[in-house]
Amino acid sequence: MAPQRVFSGIQPSGELHIGNYLGAVQNWVTLQSQHDCLFCVVDLHAITQPYDPANLPALTTDMAVSLYAAGLDPERCIVFIQSHVAEHTELNWLFSAVAPLGELERQTQFKDKSQRQESVLLGLLAYPVLQAADVLLYKASLVPVGEDQVQHLELMREIARRWNARFGQGYFPEPQPLLTRTKRVLGLDGKAKMSKSLGNTIGLFESPEAIWEKLRPAATDPARVTRKDPGTPEICNIYTLHQGFSPPEVVAEVADKCRTAGWGCIDCKRKLADHMIATLTPMRERAAALKRDPTGVTERLRAGAQRARTLAQRTIVEVRERMGFLHE
């Protein structure tokens, strides 16, 4: 595939865990060598849910450090903080001239989350409009997403179509989804999606001992009651994690030994722990080095925002022009 502009964002939820890593960031690290990529810590999106302003700066920095430590290289992609580029909020508002309210109200995520809020906030409803602004500001044509974001992407395409129809045919591309290889990682309980708030995660920078302590009791195929019972790898979360961390020949061995009861689940988990630790150890070391140099992190983020802003301003000038705003 010829290089294209790629945009993706991640919430400032502090340090990455293996679920975020396998679900998104592992793929981003590959994409940065293939495409022209922007990766953004979307702190403006974070305020659409209840949050503590006192914690937001540290959560944002920790996420940025995690992205660098996981392998995003400022020489090969642009990493920045969303609120550092004010054009995101401007385009968000300008899109309110074409964003369809009925379709926003029909978004599954809005319906789910609004039911859990006593007083529903405008930001929650308008979240996909800001997402459209995030991507289209850079005229990105590819968006790496999980399956749960496909509906938002369709709305983004609709906003691009409506804006183009009214203000300039062909101006914005209609972004396409890039679905990630490991789509959905369950938590260690094997039930819910992996999430820090549920306490069913392994952090990207945990020590080898802590990783093993968490993997050892993790849920497996419930039909494997004794070591002699054959299992079904496809329904076991440990197998999903092997697919994320182990080389293909080991994944094939895991599937075979599981189906034939060739080993016990503890053997299987030990193998997973070895590959997970081998992947995560250099990341933990890079994160420690970055944390020792907070000024360096700030400078990297400032440079990333500057590069993003240069692209964003070009779009905003053209959009203002096409929408009929008077020059200063």
Q: Which of the residues are catalytic?
A: 113, 193, 196
From the CB of 232, what's the least distance to ligand SF4, in Å? 7
Pick out residues in 85-144 that bind ligand SF4 (CB under 6 A). none
- What DSSP state is assigned to residue 246? S
Residue 268 binding ligand SF4, by CB under 6 A: yes
Chain centroid offset of residue 142 CA: 14
H or E stretch at 91: helix 87-95
Query: Which segment (131-139, 204-212, 216-224, 296-304) binds ligand SF4 by CB under 6 A?
Result: 216-224
Largest CA-CA distance found in the chain, in angstroms, rounded: 77
Q: Which of 133, 236, 277, 316 binds ligand SF4 (CB under 6 A)?
A: 236
The three-state secondary structure class of 211 is helix
Query: Which segment (103-111, 156-164, 203-211, 218-226) binds ligand SF4 by CB under 6 A?
Result: 218-226
Residue 215 binding ligand SF4, by CB under 6 A: no
From the CB of 271, what's the least distance to ligand SF4, in Å? 8
Could you give the CA distance from residue 140 to residue 165 in angstroms, rounded to a whole number? 19
Residue 19 binding ligand SF4, by CB under 6 A: no
Q: Which of 233, 244, 304, 311 binds ligand SF4 (CB under 6 A)?
A: 233
Residue 185 binding ligand SF4, by CB under 6 A: no
Chain centroid offset of residue 200 CA: 18
From the CB of 131, what's the least distance to ligand SF4, in Å? 36
Q: Which of 188, 254, 280, 287 binds ligand SF4 (CB under 6 A)?
A: 254
Q: Residue 53, Cβ neighbours under 10 Å: how many?
A: 7
Residue 258 binding ligand SF4, by CB under 6 A: yes
Could you give the CA distance from residue 30 to residue 39 in angstroms, rounded to a whole number? 13
From the CB of 42, what's the least distance to ligand SF4, in Å? 34
In this structure, are residues 161 and 170 in contact, taking their beta carbons and an 8 Å threshold? Answer: no
- Label residues 186-203 b or e (16+ Cβ within 10 Å = b): bbbebeeebebeeebbbb
Distances (CA, A) of 194 to 19, 38, 183, 199: 6, 25, 12, 8
| Site for ligand SF4, rule CB under 6 A | 220-221, 224, 231, 233, 236, 238-239, 254, 258, 265, 268-269
